[in-house]
Structure 1
Amino acid sequence: MTKHTNFPTPGTESENVVTFPNNSDALHPEEHPASDGHMPDGMPDGFLLRDDGIYQLRPGDDEDLEPVKICSPLIVKGQCRRPSGGGWGRVVEIQNPDGGWHELILEARDISAGPAKIVTPLSDRGLMVTNAAKAAQSVKELLNAWQPAARYDRVNHLGWVDGEFSAFTLGDGRVIGDALVVPDHGANHVAAAMHAKGTLEEWRATVAAPCSGNPLMIFALSLAFSGPLLSVLGREGGGFHLRGDTSKGKSTLQRLAASVWGAPEFMQDWRTTDNVLCRENLAA
């Protein structure tokens, strides 16, 4: 499973990262290596991406342009919109203080608003805005002007994104496939429970292997893997009713199947569904 990106996540070896030379003459934008095709796609003039953050070229005491750090590393990977043509925004990836990278969607309407509207969700995910004068305003200006050529489709459902089976979205934000799509699941509790823990090798050794010789366990795992194949094969879905006395392993089989896709919370309770239906009927 891969989380596709339009270009490599920045690091010290990335060609998208600009390292400032010690020679002060190289700080002028027309002479800086960033002006020679080393900036990420669509990054506006006057801003530079370095391995430790974003810098803005500002006039110094002697009127020469000097790099001033405004925030920790971030990249605008592309613009995004919904299939209907609305819901425009930016697909942004930021680096938190622990070195991890997080992808999120920034709404175009928020980018056009005041700095606080756009900096708050970024800071919540770990972006560090510096104490430089008007740093937050500079971050807003950067995001507003940064318009890469890549176009992403916003997808608000899990699974296959189209009838061509070009990509498959998972609840933790990962995308399997080549299509440029960005998950837009919001606060979906099912999507939130779909996340990985441990490794594939550990799952095979501690979950799958012990099922050998037990037809019900093998059946449960097989059903868990069958969902994505139904639409590919043009088949309709269905369900199976596991019957038996209490404490005979029915819930264990459910947890076993849920482990294919995420945490135990991925299991859904029919009783909860009944309650939801009752509330909807009363509201109607």
Structure 2
Amino acid sequence: MAGRTMNAATIAPLVPDAEAPAIERPCYRVYEHAITLEGIKLRPGVWHHSQNLDKSTGEYLPFDEWLCGPLHVEAVTRNEGQDGDYGRLLRLRNADHRELIWAMPNELLAGKPDTILSVLLSMGLDVDYQRRAKICQYIAAQYPKDRVIAATSTGWHTQSLFIMPRQNIGKGKAIFQSDAANVDDFRRGGTLEGWQANIGALCEGNPLLLLSVCASLAGPLLYHVQRQGGGFHIVGDSSTGKSSAILAGASVWGHGEDFKRTWRATGNGLEGIASQRNDTLLALDEIGEADPREIGAVVYAMANGTGKARASRNGSARAAKRWRVMLFSSGELGLSALMAEGGKRSRAGQEIRLMDIPARRTYGAWDSLHGMGGGREFSDAIQRASVTHYGHAGPEFIRKLLEDGNQDQLPTLLATLCNLYPTTNGQESRAAERFALVALAGELAIGFGILPLPTGAVRNAMLELFEVWRAGRGQGPSEDRQILRAVADFIARHGDTRFSSADDPQGEARDRAGYWEDNPSGRLYLFNRPGLEDAAKGYDLGRVVLALDSVGAVAKKDTGKQQALKRLPDGTRQRLYFIDPAKLEPES
């Protein structure tokens, strides 16, 4: 700038810091930008303005404390009934100058400050460590006039509003309220078009991949058809593509790997995850990592949508967690086989709530490789796509469902699809309804332009998988088959040690379960009551006899009885159950 004279007119004047309005101490103030108060420059954030006594003069002197970065208490949150779920809607600016919000439950104020501070620190709020406890005091001291409806779970809040941690879909005002602000697994990456090309299009000709993706889309329909959850368990050898199918379903709502969970969790932990997945998908990989002794109870809880009842600190009952989810699982063992490892017997209700589907297709879990070299390459492509393009299909399905405006017709559409499934008993009907629900979601997604497949593709695939499930399960109620198998196994194990000939009632028999006798059609086993109860542990004796009689295994009985009176050579008379083991194998 040589040869040039600088004067006042060519110098840009400095903009002074804003002056803070007068305050009445003590009070809290939040400053978004640097400000000058009573001649002192203050940094942005939450300040506590108070007074300290000067012991030497006896005067009260101003005292200003910086607590944290900008943190506003915007509104009071509460449920629609205005009788619970109260909280504070917090808005903060973090260390990277991003605006974030957190609907914080008021009940956290009843505990230690660490609970709240850990969340705020994880969100990136700058905090004065020495004064961190005063941040909770500041929050508790704020009473904003604005009110916001709090939603304590994801999913449908009303018939026209779907709540997600960081977005709402539909009409209505509410905000997701949670103990933590970073529980959002419903993240997005890539594009919907990328997902359609790399996962959606590959579903064609692959029933198990369709099952995974459409079961994920079926989660939001549970609310409208008023059904509980339940799901499918893909069973097959290692490295067949089961986990890839799980990732494909998870990618409908979020990052494939992050949205997926494993069975290696306690029942309480899975309750928390299920409540965060309400009205969507609970994807669980590797059932072999679950505790065989607990898995049955966990399946009931996940499908029924109700957590354990727990007591609060004062002994009163706390509100149990609730959810509706479609469950999609995988493992090398089926549910009944895993429970048997823990000495448990699976119940029909458990088997219907989580149905075993074999992963024995043409190429592991797949039927069509879409030009790829093999099943491994196809699985790898699905895995890559699930972490590249994700989190778009599910929310888009919700938007299209709301735009369509025919939610009231969904129960009728479901009933129509159910009529396509051949069933012979109530258990098969319940299973058919779940396959039909998946088919309904898939066909809607095709109509909405989300799944790039021809109309009818999902409906036909689900009918095929239902027949696969039905053939693997066998005919008749599940309890009957389990009872028949248990009695047959008991005879195979103990026929020579716990029974003796009815012609020699004094013959050796350890812990006698009854006798045997030969007749022209083969050997019959004459069970005493304790013996038959032992053979089918866990089932009511009347239910056991009903199952045996349904296949003609009760070879002889007196009028009005399920037993027959047997006179033994020593003159004693006993009522025994005459069981023909040849009838215990159910027809395939």
Q: TM-score, normalised by structure 2?
A: 0.33
* Contact 1:94–1:126, Cα closer than 8 Å, also in 2: no
Equivalent in the alignment of 2:74: 77
**Structure 1: runs of 5+ lacking an equivalent:** 1-20, 31-44
Pairing 1:176–2:169 present:
yes
Note the C-alpha offset of 1:247.
4.7
* Contact 1:78–1:91, Cα closer than 8 Å, also in 2: yes
Note the C-alpha offset of 1:158.
3.4
Deviations 1:130-184 (A, max 9, x none): 48xx8546644532232331233241x332234x3423335xx544343313243
Which deviates further from its counterpart, 146-155 or 243-252?
Answer: 243-252
Which deviates further from its counterpart, 94-103 or 232-241?
Answer: 232-241
Deviations 1:91-121 (A, max 9, x none): 2233332334444344535547787675454
Equivalent in the alignment of 2:249: 257
Note the C-alpha offset of 1:226.
2.0
Pairing 1:226–2:218 present:
yes
Equivalent in the alignment of 2:102: 104
Query: Against the structure 1 CA distance between its residues 109 and 205, is the aligned structure 2 distance closer, same or farther, given a 3 Å change threshold?
Result: same
Equivalent in the alignment of 2:30: 48
Query: Against the structure 1 CA distance between its residues 192 and 65, is the aligned structure 2 distance closer, same or farther, given a 3 Å change threshold?
Result: closer
Equivalents in 1 of 2:124, 2:20: separation in Å? 28
Equivalents in 2 of 1:247, 1:118: separation in Å? 43
* Contact 1:54–1:71, Cα closer than 8 Å, also in 2: yes
Note the C-alpha offset of 1:220.
3.2
Equivalent in the alignment of 2:127: 129
Equivalent in the alignment of 1:196: 187
Equivalents in 2 of 1:136, 1:223: separation in Å? 46
Equivalents in 2 of 1:186, 1:116: separation in Å? 12
Equivalents in 1 of 2:187, 2:208: separation in Å? 24
Equivalents in 2 of 1:243, 1:117: separation in Å? 41
User: Which letter maps to 1:48?
Assistant: V
User: Which letter maps to 2:284?
Assistant: Q
Q: Which has the larger radius of gyration?
A: 2
Equivalents in 1 of 2:149, 2:21: separation in Å? 34
* Contact 1:70–1:129, Cα closer than 8 Å, also in 2: yes
Equivalent in the alignment of 1:158: 154
Equivalent in the alignment of 1:6: none
**Secondary structure of residue in 2 paired with 1:261:** coil
* Contact 1:27–1:66, Cα closer than 8 Å, also in 2: no
Equivalent in the alignment of 2:20: 27
* Contact 1:167–1:179, Cα closer than 8 Å, also in 2: no
Query: Against the structure 1 CA distance between its residues 234 and 105, is the aligned structure 2 distance closer, same or farther, given a 3 Å change threshold?
Result: closer
Equivalent in the alignment of 1:16: none
Equivalents in 1 of 2:183, 2:293: separation in Å? 21
User: Which letter maps to 1:169?
Assistant: M
Equivalents in 2 of 1:118, 1:235: separation in Å? 37
User: Which letter maps to 1:97?
Assistant: A
Note the C-alpha offset of 1:228.
0.4
Note the C-alpha offset of 1:273.
7.2
Equivalents in 1 of 2:108, 2:236: separation in Å? 54
Note the C-alpha offset of 1:50.
0.9
- Percent same amino acid among aligned pairs? 23
* Contact 2:149–2:175, Cα closer than 8 Å, also in 1: yes
Note the C-alpha offset of 1:72.
1.2
Note the C-alpha offset of 1:80.
2.7
Pairing 1:268–2:274 present:
no
**Secondary structure of residue in 2 paired with 1:48:** strand
Equivalent in the alignment of 1:142: 138
Query: Against the structure 1 CA distance between its residues 125 and 192, is the aligned structure 2 distance closer, same or farther, given a 3 Å change threshold?
Result: closer
Query: Against the structure 1 CA distance between its residues 221 and 279, is the aligned structure 2 distance closer, same or farther, given a 3 Å change threshold?
Result: closer
Note the C-alpha offset of 1:256.
1.2
Note the C-alpha offset of 1:224.
1.7
Query: Against the structure 1 CA distance between its residues 141 and 22, is the aligned structure 2 distance closer, same or farther, given a 3 Å change threshold?
Result: farther
* Contact 2:105–2:179, Cα closer than 8 Å, also in 1: no
RCO higher in structure (CA 8 A, sep ≥6) = 1
**Secondary structure of residue in 2 paired with 1:268:** strand
Query: Against the structure 1 CA distance between its residues 56 and 208, is the aligned structure 2 distance closer, same or farther, given a 3 Å change threshold?
Result: same
Equivalent in the alignment of 1:10: none
**Secondary structure of residue in 2 paired with 1:256:** helix
* Contact 2:104–2:178, Cα closer than 8 Å, also in 1: no
Query: Against the structure 1 CA distance between its residues 121 and 210, is the aligned structure 2 distance closer, same or farther, given a 3 Å change threshold?
Result: closer
User: Which letter maps to 1:227?
Assistant: G
* Contact 1:28–1:64, Cα closer than 8 Å, also in 2: no
Query: Against the structure 1 CA distance between its residues 116 and 218, is the aligned structure 2 distance closer, same or farther, given a 3 Å change threshold?
Result: closer
**Secondary structure of residue in 1 paired with 2:218:** helix
Equivalents in 1 of 2:141, 2:197: separation in Å? 50
Provide the aligned length of Structure 1 versus Structure 2. Answer: 237
* Contact 2:30–2:72, Cα closer than 8 Å, also in 1: no
